Structure 1
Amino acid sequence: MFTGIVEDIGKVKAIQNGLQSMQLTIESKKIVEDINLGDSIAVNGICLTANAYSNHYFTVDVMPETVKSTNIQSLQMGHKVNLERAMPPTGRFGGHFVSGHVDGTGVILRKRNVENAVYMDIGISEEMSQYCILKGSVAIDGISLTIFDIQPKKLTVSLIPHTYQGTILGDKREQNLVNIETDLLSKYVVNHLNRTQKESSITMDFLELNGF
């Protein structure tokens, strides 16, 4: 489990491509200061497992499904990535519940400066938008952000200077893809309600027939 508070910006030092999978070696002295083999690390919001590490680097494997459903396939040598270690029990919960299980990608439609903020419009699928609510949380490339406008296939977030300068979103341009993980709690609620409605024997015809 993560919180969407980026700890460090790492740099991709090596990429090994399989037929449908990848292996990445990422440089980050801060992250490797306190990790063990098998630890979970969020790389641009994707939960990956450290299978090797040294003084300055760690290595992760990327499965075919992750390659297919995220923007990780666009990474190249030297690219920067957002990094966050898993949340410790005694840590501060500065963001929101982030599982690292990315729902898919969105596309940056527009970036604009409004005084000290950067507004970012992101195109998303209709399926993802059902889990987004006004003032709710969303993880974009692993960053916990607040939605301040939501349309059927678009959401808008506002970046404070610290977030814009301290994450890779500051380097992103319009039409770039970003990883999207919608709010975990919203997904549980929506899926529960959908199942409940399907399983219920009470229909509109039943209510009308019984005087409601």
Structure 2
Amino acid sequence: MFTGIIQAIGHVQSLESRGGDLRLTIDSGNLELDDVALGDSIATNGICLTVIDLTGQGFKADVSRETINLTTLHKLKAGSPVNLEKALTLNTRLGGHLVSGHVDGVGEIVSRSDDARSIRFSVAAPKELAKYIAHKGSICVDGVSLTVNGINGSQFELNLVPHTLQETIMDGYQAGTQVNLEVDLIARYLERLMMGEAAAEMNTAGVTEALLMERGFIKGR
């Protein structure tokens, strides 16, 4: 688990093909690794990766096909900057929100504009994630815990203050930049819970209008 508060900006040293998947080597920059052991987790652009080796300058991690297919990791190359956060501990300040490091989908920056000293981004999310994104709710973008400031269909607005721009890789985002998205954990589990016993059935349609009516959440027309 993570908080979405970035601790350092690292850089990709190499991506090595390994039997159809990848081995990733990260230069961790200013991230303190003295308390990191093999098997620990480090969020890299919001992706929970397991440390398999400590190199002195950073760490190595194996990346599965599943992760490659569902994230922006395959777009990284040697030298690419990445947001880094070590897994939280029980005495960590929860400055952001609870983040699992399990990416739900890839979004795309639609626009970027100045807003006083802040930068406002408009982000297009996959349509299937729109139902989990709420105005003034939390969303994790490339590992950064952010507040949704506006929403229009599957597009949402973010307002980044100067500190966030300085401490993350987001100052480099332009229209067309693809980003890893993780929706709020509570929204995902709430959907599953609302399905009740139907969740155990194969090929269920998820939370539908008919199901909400059956459970009494909405009234029939």
Rounded to whole Å, the distance in 1 between the matches of 2:212 and 2:137 is 29
Q: State the AA in 1 paired with 2:49.
A: L
Rounded to whole Å, the distance in 2 between the matches of 1:159 and 1:203 is 39
* Unmatched tracts of structure 2, length 5 or more: 199-206
Q: State the AA in 2 paired with 1:152.
A: G
Q: Which SS does the other structure have where 2:66 is aligned? A: helix
Q: State the AA in 2 paired with 1:154.
A: Q
| Residue in 1 that maps onto 2:204 | none
| Residue in 1 that maps onto 2:8 | 8
Q: State the AA in 2 paired with 1:11.
A: H
Q: What is the TM-score with the length of structure 1 in the denominator? A: 0.91
| Residue in 1 that maps onto 2:189 | 188
Q: Which SS does the other structure have where 2:103 is aligned? A: coil
Could you tell which deviates more after superposition, 160-169 or 188-197? 188-197
Shift of 1:30: 2.0
Shift of 1:202: 4.2
Provide the aligned length of Structure 1 versus Structure 2: 207
Rounded to whole Å, the distance in 2 between the matches of 1:33 and 1:152 is 44
| Residue in 1 that maps onto 2:123 | 122
Rounded to whole Å, the distance in 1 between the matches of 2:215 and 2:105 is 34
Percent identity of paired positions between Structure 1 and Structure 2:
36
| Residue in 2 that maps onto 1:158 | 159
Matches within 5 A, 1:1-212: 1-18=1-18, 20-28=20-28, 29-195=30-196, 202=214
Q: State the AA in 2 paired with 1:17.
A: S
Q: State the AA in 2 paired with 1:58.
A: F
Q: State the AA in 2 paired with 1:70.
A: T
Q: What is the TM-score with the length of structure 2 in the denominator? A: 0.87
CA RMSD, aligned part only? 2.2
* Unmatched tracts of structure 1, length 5 or more: none
Rounded to whole Å, the distance in 1 between the matches of 2:143 and 2:98 is 11
Q: Does the CA contact (< 8 Å) of 1:17 and 1:23 recur in 2?
A: yes
Q: Does the CA contact (< 8 Å) of 1:137 and 1:146 recur in 2?
A: yes
Could you tell which deviates more after superposition, 111-120 or 17-26? 17-26
Q: State the AA in 2 paired with 1:10.
A: G
Q: Does the CA contact (< 8 Å) of 1:32 and 1:54 recur in 2?
A: no
Q: Deviations over 1:143-200 (max 9, x none)?
A: 0000011122101111010111110111122101000000001111123224477779
Q: Which SS does the other structure have where 1:77 is aligned? A: coil
